[in-house]
Amino acid sequence: MKHYIPLIFLCLLPFASCIENDIPYPVSVPTIAELEIKGAKSLDINASTRTVSLVLDESSDLSSVCIDKAVCDPANTVSSPDLVGTFDLTSPLPFTLTTYQDYDWKLEAVQHIERYFNFTGQVGKCVIDDVNHRVVAHVSSKVSLSSISVAEYKLGPEGRTEYSTDLLNMHDFTEPVEVDVTFDGRTEHWRIIIEQTESAVSFSALDAWTRVAWMYASAPEGAVNGFRYRKAGDEGWKELSGESIITDGGSFSACADGLEPQTEYECCAFSGDDSSETRTFTTEAEAQLPNSGFEVYSNAESKNFLSWYDPADAALSSKWWDSGNVGSTMVGASGVICAPDTDCHAEGGASARLNSRYVVIKFAAGNLFSGEFAGLVGTSGGIVNFGRPFTLRPRKLTLMLKYDCGKIDNIGGVPSGTTVKEGDPDRCQVFVALGDWNPRKYGGSANCPVQVNTTKPETLFNPSSEAVIAYGAFTSDKTIAEWTRVEIPLDYVSTSRVPTHIIVSCAASMLGDYFTGSSSSVLWVDDVRLEY
């Protein structure tokens, strides 16, 4: 059979060079979906700034970092250079992701090396300046700088660092001591400075929460060190010493517990017969989460489901808790995944019932969270803004819960390194996080700063994010038939940082963000409380 070119096309051929192609290329913004890197302690993929931030463990060599796997989204994305291989990351690595257009990215790595310098009789903890390569330490004025006994030191990676001077055999520190520290093919020139101090004991920091206060001080190592505190106006002191004290060289700390909220106290540090100046502090307030018993709800948002607020209730006229109901009920009320239930633990008559279910073409995990549902991504997923404003520092979250654990019958995906198969028990999860997330970086709104897009795994909540101040979680892969009290302790990375927001998230299917779980899993929650 002969094939003929249409006459109109033949007529246009001589003028082809005059035709302007104004058909736009498709817009497909690529991103990094997954990276597997040897020695990685944490990895943050920021699609907004097109930056991959990597923290390597101490055993890694920054000049020779091995990337074993790199997955881009969409799948037709081309990376230049190819990200699988060995790279020198002593400086940021620029790379380009290309779909129909080019997008410039960078991979930057840092390595946190544990460094220390300790000697007998030191006062306080040494200050180690790893930028300017200096160690500054203090000793009592009663100790001679010409007879210092160094106990231990480490200024480079374990096992592959060479020192130009053996500091264990160095005793004269009347002048700064210079030492070259060599590892991974580079040499750092360090200066060790030991100074005398007249102060035998001094306060370093004091962080007052609601019912506890964290105290930090410096004094000669090996002395009897501790703290005293009392409510302002009281006569007697309470003392923290012995096993209550955490010692790190010449620095020590302790936690004063059992304090009263919004109350003024005074305290001091002591070392032997010497005492520091007296400090005063006021503890923070105590507050609970709004509607934490799930007694208030209304149809104010939709006729298809009940939301956890009521415009007619002056105290709860705005939404604090939200769920994925807006997305799951697009086809009608049969898609409800979070609703009030009369099966409850406390007085008031209601709990929150979270049902995982298959809704038309997608698996939807029963969920409830502090934040706002921000919309659907076609039929592929949803967008949630996590968090609500909160500036207090509780020590744990408690709640009552029950759980009907189903067998997994939907697998849309799983996190990297996780193996799940149909028939495995599902898992529920409740987690709480406090942080100082900036919505400009984390994509959410001022009130709900952390945006999660379930179609982009790199946006899923990361408890190891630098903005997370405290985190705790509970999971179960077993049915919990009776109402059970669960305690979730909060693990803080700092006692001084003050959060701006709190995230509380409950899910009947822990892997719901990946559209994986059981359509028969049900989680009930009630009486959510913060303990200080």
> DSSP readout, 386-415?
E-EE-----SEEEEEEEEE-PBP-B-S---
Strands 246-248 and 251-256: antiparallel
The beta-strand segments (E) located in 198-299 are 202-208, 213-218, 225-231, 238-240, 246-248, 251-256, 264-271, 274-275, 279-282
CA-CA-CA-CA torsion for 241, 242, 245, 249, nearest 10 degrees? 120
Instruction: Please answer whether residues 317 and 310 qualify as being in contact, where contact means their C-beta atoms are separated by less than 8 angstroms.
Output: yes
Cα(450)–Cα(443) distance, integer angstroms: 6
Paired tokens of 512: 């719901």
Rg (CA), the chain: 30
Locate 338 and state its tokens: 């979070």
| Residues 108/53, Cβ–Cβ less than 8 Å | yes
The predicted pLDDT at position 125 comes to: 85
Q: Rounded CA gap, 406 and 424, in Å? A: 9
**What is the rounded distance in angstroms from the CA atom of residue 428 to the CA atom of residue 460?**
17
What one-character DSSP code corresponds to residue 316? G
Beta bridge partners of 522: 355, 404
pLDDT of 477 reads 97
Helices vs strands, H then E, count in the chain = 3, 40
User: pLDDT value at position 403?
Assistant: 98
Q: Output the pLDDT for position 44.
A: 86
| Per-residue pLDDT of the chain in tens (532 residues, 90 and over written 9) | 333 333 322 333 333 444 455 555 556 789 998 899 999 988 888 887 899 999 999 989 999 999 999 999 898 999 999 999 999 999 999 999 999 899 999 999 998 899 999 998 898 888 999 999 999 999 988 889 999 999 999 999 988 999 999 999 999 999 999 999 999 888 999 999 999 988 789 999 999 999 999 999 999 888 899 999 999 999 999 999 999 999 988 899 999 999 999 999 999 999 998 999 999 999 999 999 999 999 999 999 999 999 999 999 999 999 999 999 998 998 788 899 999 999 988 778 899 999 999 987 789 999 999 999 998 887 788 899 999 999 999 999 999 999 999 999 999 988 877 889 999 999 999 999 999 999 999 999 999 999 999 888 888 999 999 999 999 999 999 999 999 999 999 999 999 999 999 999 999 999 999 999 999 999 999 999 999 9
Determine how β-strand 127-129 pairs with β-strand 116-119.
Answer: unpaired
The predicted pLDDT at position 24 comes to: 57
**Residue 21 burial (CB count, 10 A):** 5
CA distance 326 to 287: 29
Distance, CA of 327 to CA of 335 (rounded, Å): 9
What distance in Å separates the CA atoms of residue 87 and residue 151, rounded to the nearest whole number? 37
Q: For the stretch 227-264, what's the b/e string if a residue is b when 16 or more beta carbons lie within 10 angstroms of its beta carbon?
A: bbbbeeeeeeeeebeeeebeeebbbbbbebeebeeeee
Q: What is the pLDDT of residue 26?
A: 58
Instruction: State the pLDDT at residue 413.
Output: 87
Query: What local confidence, expressed as pLDDT, does residue 415 receive?
Result: 85
Name the one residue in this structure whose structure tokens are 């206060």.
Answer: 213
Q: What is the dihedral of CA 58, 60, 62, 63, to 10 degrees?
A: 150
Q: What is the pLDDT at residue 211? A: 98
Q: In b/e form, how buried is each residue of 164-194, taking b as 16+ CB within 10 angstroms?
A: eeebeebeebeeebebebebeeeeeebebeb
Q: Provide the pLDDT for residue 18.
A: 47
Whether the Cβ atoms of residue 311 and residue 298 lie closer than 8 Å to each other: yes
CB 154 within 8 A of CB 116: yes
- Written as one letter, the residue type at 58 is E
pLDDT at residue 12, as a whole number: 32
Q: How far apart are CA 197 and CA 192, in angstroms?
A: 16
* pLDDT for the residue numbered 17: 44
Residue type, 16: A
Q: In what order do the strands lie in the sheet with 31-37?
A: 31-37, 65-73, 85-87
Chain mean position to CA 240:
32
The values of phi and psi at residue 418, to 5°, are -105, 135
User: Could you tell me what percentage of the chain is helix, strand and coil, using 3-state DSSP and rounding each to the nearest 5?
Assistant: 5, 45, 45
pLDDT at 5: 32
233 three-class SS: coil
CB half-sphere exposure, 208, CA atoms < 13 A: 18
